[in-house]
């Protein structure tokens, strides 16, 4: 174990009756850092000494045993964190649910686990779903101190929860996302053997709850719309937004998280090679994606790239390597939001879909590539999809004039 764990009475912040919070003190010599973690125990200075006496008696022995459990839990959490980092230690500390039958505890476990593996998007999805469920329980019971057993979640409960979200103005997409997160928590608890599959409320049977399906919204720009957008002129912010949109489109619909993490070492002449960040922790075997860089893409790198061209240097200054995972996620979200704002303004000028976002670059690449003759398999590989069905969902279909041309060709014998 690469740290020492002791208890500390935080007398810097006195409470009523001269009692203080007992905190867990974790010191990592290799990092030269220490952190304090509050416990639920509060003691006076005299009682603190009695609890940690050689042979504590009575209530002091009970407190000593309780603190010993807290310390043992912390030691077990730190044991497997090699090399030691406070971020992973904190995630491990919160990994075991207090009550395996309690949905809220299991949500908190899933959030901590995803954060520890750097899956911050998943952690956010679980957190948003949990926040929504807590609000529903509070609205129903009037209590903030909540517990929710898996056995309480029935088809009727889910229907009332769905109606509650509709009343709050939540979209079908949001409702579906929150309920799917809850379903994932159920599946995980069943897989671990924590609960019985007999109480599972989801399914296709009439007596089970069915999650509302979301109507697919086409997020593709046609060739003439792409041309209008590419030729559009505007402010510096709008032109930067346009440049990064078409850089993504050029690079096989590259996700903006992947763009933010590109380094100069991934450049090989007119080729750019990378692995998708989204799947680096979800698949055991990753496929390297290789994209061809047009003169336009090279120009974007030249215009916005870092002056330092070292192999490990990030090409674009969207994030820095010194940032924590949370800070990187926030920086990428802010940059993407800025690009989306610029795109919407340009779209309005040239009279194309004002709901445009960075996602349109990825969907437009897949659809236009297939329409140009690329196979679904090739496009799937370039998008970094493990399943061809995922790629098919990206494809928005052929336009009416394409069907007309095809039909006319069929009649040429």
Q: How high is the mean pLDDT in each 10-residue block of the chain (413 residues)?
A: 87 77 90 87 90 87 87 83 84 65 88 77 91 92 78 94 94 92 93 89 91 72 90 94 93 88 91 73 61 90 93 93 86 95 94 88 79 64 58 50 47 45
H runs (alpha helix) in 27-154: 45-51, 58-79, 86-93, 103-116, 120-141
Chain centroid to CA 301: 27
pLDDT value for 407: 41
pLDDT value for 375: 62
CB 60 within 8 A of CB 51: yes
pLDDT value for 406: 45
Residue 388 CB neighbour total at 10 angstroms: 13
Can you tell me whether residue 178 is helix, strand or coil? helix
The radius of gyration computed from the CA coordinates of the chain, to the nearest angstrom, equals 27
CB 271 within 8 A of CB 292: yes
CB-based burial label for 328 (10 Å; 0-12, 13-18, 19+): buried
Contacts of 28 (CB under 8 A, 6+ apart): 2, 3, 34, 84, 86
Instruction: Quote the pTM value.
Output: 0.59
What is the bridge-based pairing of β-strands 271-274 and 289-292?
Answer: antiparallel
pLDDT value for 187: 93
pLDDT value for 253: 84
Helix axes 376-383, 359-371, angle to 10 degrees: 160
What does the angle CA 287 – CA 113 – CA 204 come to, to the nearest 5 degrees? 80
pLDDT value for 11: 84
The tokens describing 92, both together, are 């491990």
Q: Which residue has the tokens 């194309």?
A: 352
Give me the sheet containing 289-292, strands edge to edge.
267-268, 271-274, 289-292
pLDDT value for 255: 87
């Amino acid at each position: 174990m690469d740290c020492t764990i002791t208890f500390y009475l935080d007398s810097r912040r006195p409470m009523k009756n001269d009692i203080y919070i007992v905190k867990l003190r974790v010191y990592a010599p290799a990092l030269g850092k220490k952190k304090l973690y509050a416990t639920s125990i509060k003691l006076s200075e005299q009682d603190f000494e009695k609890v940690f006496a050689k042979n504590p008696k009575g209530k002091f022995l009970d407190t000593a045993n309780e603190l010993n459990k807290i310390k043992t839990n912390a030691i077990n959490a730190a044991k497997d964190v090699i090399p030691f980092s406070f971020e992973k230690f904190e995630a491990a500390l919160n990994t075991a649910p207090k009550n395996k039958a309690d949905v809220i505890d299991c949500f908190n476990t899933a959030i901590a686990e995803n954060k520890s593996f750097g899956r911050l998007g998943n952690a956010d999805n679980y957190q948003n779903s949990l926040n929504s469920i807590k609000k529903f329980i509070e609205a129903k019971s009037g209590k903030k101190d909540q517990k929710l057993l898996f056995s309480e979640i029935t088809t009727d409960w889910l229907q009332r929860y769905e109606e509650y979200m509709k009343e709050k103005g939540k979209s079908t997409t949001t409702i579906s996302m929150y309920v799917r997160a809850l379903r994932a928590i159920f599946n995980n608890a069943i897989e671990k053997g924590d609960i019985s599959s007999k109480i599972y409320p989801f399914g296709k049977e009439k007596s089970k709850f069915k999650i509302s399906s979301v109507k697919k919204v086409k997020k593709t720009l046609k060739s003439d719309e792409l041309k209008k957008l590419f030729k559009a002129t505007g402010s510096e912010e709008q032109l930067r937004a346009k440049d990064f949109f078409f850089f993504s489109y050029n690079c096989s619909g590259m996700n903006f998280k992947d763009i933010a993490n590109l380094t100069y070492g991934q450049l090989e002449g007119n080729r750019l090679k990378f692995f998708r960040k989204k799947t680096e922790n979800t698949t055991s075997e990753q496929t390297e994606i290789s994209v061809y860089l047009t003169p336009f893409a090279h120009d974007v790198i030249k215009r916005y790239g870092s002056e330092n061209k070292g192999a490990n240097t990030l090409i674009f200054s969207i994030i820095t390597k010194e940032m924590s995972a949370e800070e990187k996620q926030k920086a990428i979200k802010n940059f993407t939001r800025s690009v989306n704002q610029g795109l919407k303004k340009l779209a309005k000028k040239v009279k194309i879909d004002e709901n445009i976002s960075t996602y349109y670059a990825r969907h437009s690449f897949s659809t236009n590539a297939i329409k140009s003759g690329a196979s679904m398999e090739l496009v799937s590989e370039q998008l970094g999809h493990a399943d061809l069905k995922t790629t098919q969902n990206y494809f928005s279909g052929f336009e009416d004039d394409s069907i007309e041309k095809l039909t006319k060709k069929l009649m040429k014998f």
